[in-house]
């Protein structure tokens, strides 16, 4: 995608959306973009990504993200926002952070996040989980985009809903393709179609209230995946009394588990 | 257990451990107890429970806990601590909180937590997950307690490690029995033996860095379970580069999914 103001500079819409200006004292200024707009306000995944991006900008930051929790406390309005970051504590192997997003004029907090960073040294290793079985990506049809939710055009999602197993298996890729990093992986964790819509096709108002991401790969490992489409297997355990959960595994195409993610979603039905 | 100072009053060691004095301005004072001591400092589950308990004490609190994330930023020392709570935002159906634990003399933050509370109205419902298959509790032998970790005596854990499926299925109950509530459920989410120890029996230093709990039942539903032992099915997806994850489902004996939980654990091996 070409930036219309400076046509010889190419900037990916994701990088545009997570761009932050440094304000000092751990504060950053950004703004929502049309490319990741949802029906009302921005797509939750891009908000998670920009919260993480603020922490990644901190010069004190050590190591790679290991865990990220983003709480969607209230609506993010289209326009400018500020993110204040706070270093909670740093030890030899981990570093803990808190971040909150506010918007003028009322300075209400729309979003909070906590994150754990860690030093990813080599250790004994063992993988228990198995990658999902998925047909070749080319044989699947991409999910329809929604014109009222432009963010849906930012992902190529090819999903098989296994109603017997209660599992959705997908190929997911950024549109246009973009080298994988922690913010884009965090954003992708929110891109799976809610299972509620599979089980109950009526229009249902929903909103994610909290999103959790555990990163199982280091920065160099994500960089090696480059822009390859990822495999995602997602499941919802229970839908009841106003909330449902979703949990998912994100796998590299060659079978490395790179993230696990969970969220709780409010719904009205 | 009988309180030795007032022998006609019975207080459960869990209630003793999560007891907080109100200091005003959303601040609470507590102290660690011998009953939930781990090898160094308190058991992580009891720290999670007391963070949640502080939020439950706030008179502004609306509804039931839906999600809790506890970040273990540094060691909790045996002795007194303070928990400062902060209401982030309240909407019609959800309320978001932040809490942090500090200890004198240096006021370092040992623990942070975010929580989402929600109003649990009746809605359309659907359960996708299935309860674990477990033999009758009476037929299983309880896990050995560790004298160097007194908290292990506070749980009766009867576990089948299914090495083929990579899953640990357990009956878990408070010792002595205690009616279930949100703090005790949060604490129990940390009680499963790390899968690393199953796959790699050598002594390995570990420490949970973050614990996440999603509550799928309302207060009245937990109360109805009373002190019945719970079923827990736990799995670790991946152990590598200094960290491993654990995720678990907690089921009532009559087959209701009441919590899902995840954590990331640092290890040295």
Say whether pLDDT at B131 is over 50: yes
Say whether pLDDT at A4 is over 70: no
Cα–Cα distance measured from residue A29 to residue A101, given in angstroms and rounded to the nearest whole number: 9
- Residue A145 — pLDDT band, cuts 50, 70, 90? confident
Helix (H) or strand (E) holding A221: helix A219-225
Q: What is the pLDDT of residue A8?
A: 52
Residues written for chain A: 269
Cα–Cα distance measured from residue A242 to residue B93, given in angstroms and rounded to the nearest whole number: 9
Write the ipTM. Answer: 0.95
Q: What is the pLDDT of residue B14?
A: 98
Question: B205 in helix, strand or coil?
Answer: coil
Q: How far is B24 from chain A (nearest CA, A)?
A: 23
Of the partner residues A108, A119, A166, the one whose CB lies closest to the CB of residue B242: A119
Within a 10 A sphere around the Cβ of B135, how many other Cβ atoms?
11
Residues of chain B with C-beta less than 8 angstroms from the C-beta of A264: 66-67, 116, 214
DSSP result, A5-62: SSTT-B--HHHHHT--EEEETTEEEEE--GGGB-SSSB-HHHHHHHHHHHHHH-TT--
Residues written for chain B: 269
Q: What is the chain A residue with the closest CA to B263?
A: A214
Long-range contacts of B222-225 (CB under 8 A, 24+ apart): B222/B180, B222/B181, B222/B182, B222/B185, B222/B258, B223/B179, B223/B180, B223/B181, B225/B180, B225/B252, B225/B253, B225/B258
Within a 10 A sphere around the Cβ of B166, how many other Cβ atoms?
18
Of the partner residues B216, B260, B269, the one whose CB lies closest to the CB of residue A240: B216
- Residue A146 — pLDDT band, cuts 50, 70, 90? confident
Is A241 close to B268, i.e. CB distance below 8 A? no
Is A214 close to B109, i.e. CB distance below 8 A? no
Is A116 close to B74, i.e. CB distance below 8 A? no
Q: What is the pLDDT of residue A101?
A: 98
Percent pLDDT > 90 in chain A is 91
Of the partner residues A67, A98, A128, the one whose CB lies closest to the CB of residue B237: A128
- B171 Cβ contact partners less than 8 Å away, ≥ 6 residues apart: B134, B137, B140, B156, B157, B158, B159, B229, B230, B231, B232
**B63, B200 in Cβ contact below 8 A?**
no
Question: A232 in helix, strand or coil?
Answer: strand
Average pLDDT over residues B194-201: 94
């Amino acid at each position: 995608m070409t930036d219309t103001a400076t046509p010889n500079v190419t900037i990916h819409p994701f990088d545009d959306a997570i761009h932050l200006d440094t304000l000092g004292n751990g504060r950053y200024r950004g703004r929502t973009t049309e490319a990741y707009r949802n029906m009302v306000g921005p797509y939750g995944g891009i908000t998670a990504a920009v919260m993480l991006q603020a922490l990644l900008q901190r010069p004190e930051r050590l190591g790679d993200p290991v865990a990220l929790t983003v709480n969607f406390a209230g609506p993010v309005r289209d326009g400018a926002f500020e993110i204040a970051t706070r270093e909670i504590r740093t030890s030899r192997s981990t570093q803990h952070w808190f971040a909150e997003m506010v918007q003028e004029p009322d300075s209400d907090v729309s979003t909070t996040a906590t994150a754990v960073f860690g030093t990813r040294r080599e250790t004994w290793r063992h993988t228990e989980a198995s990658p999902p079985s998925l047909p070749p990506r080319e044989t699947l049809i991409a999910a329809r985009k929604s014109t009222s939710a432009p963010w849906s055009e930012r992902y190529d999602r090819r999903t098989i809903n296994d109603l017997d197993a209660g599992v959705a298996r997908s190929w997911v890729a950024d549109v246009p393709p973009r080298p994988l990093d922690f913010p884009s992986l965090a954003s992708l964790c929110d891109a799976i179609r809610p299972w509620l819509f599979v089980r109950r096709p009526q229009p249902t108002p929903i909103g994610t209230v909290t999103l959790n991401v555990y990163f199982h790969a280091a920065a160099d490992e994500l960089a090696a995946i480059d822009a390859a489409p990822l495999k995602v297997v997602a499941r919802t355990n229970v839908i009841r009394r106003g909330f449902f959960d979703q949990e998912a595994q994100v796998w590299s195409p060659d079978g490395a588990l790179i993230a696990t993610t969970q969220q709780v979603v409010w719904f009205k039905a």
